[in-house]
Structure 1
Amino acid sequence: MASGWANDGAVQQQIDSTIDDAVARARSGLPSGESLKVCEECGEPIPEARRKAIPGVRLCITCQQEKDSHNSTFAGYNRRGSKDSQLR
């Protein structure tokens, strides 16, 4: 496959790097430690089933859904080396 100035395997390296970044970002958001009994955002009680299912949980379901909806807007990285992608 002709890829201009890129060396062989450069496309796969870009894909692997993007996946590694996404996994690291997801792991950094995982809770750790002991679960809280009340939500640190709103103060509502966190159900025991949730605390057992997710060790280290800090937020109630409602606050967690709101946080997740804000985090889902992440667009990723533009790692393509084409000139067109750099002009956007």
Structure 2
Amino acid sequence: MAIYAIRYNYSPDTDLIARTRPVHREYLRSLFDQGALLASGPLGSDGALLIVRADDATEALSLVDADPFNEVGVIVEREALEWTQVYGPWA
């Protein structure tokens, strides 16, 4: 398995983001509890970065297909990039 960095770019609809954030975070917590999500957090106010374990980029993105932010249209763009960690807790 490899590590992937998934970048989300958000819609400017801050009301939709605020309304959906609690269930979005519950979903991410479930991925963390399963061991698929290693870390996540916002990138300013217009996106987020998620670090996941997956076999390939397609699997990495499929992990977050059911993210409530994705389902309601908060995420307007996303990409998964394989990341080779040299130093840190997952190296």
TM-score higher than 0.5 here?
no
Structure-2-length-normalised TM-score: 0.27
Which one has more relative contact order, counting CA pairs under 8 Å at least 6 apart?
Answer: 2
Structure-1-length-normalised TM-score: 0.28
Tell me which protein shows more strand as a share of its residues.
2
Tell me which protein shows more helix as a share of its residues.
1
Which one has the largest radius of gyration? 1
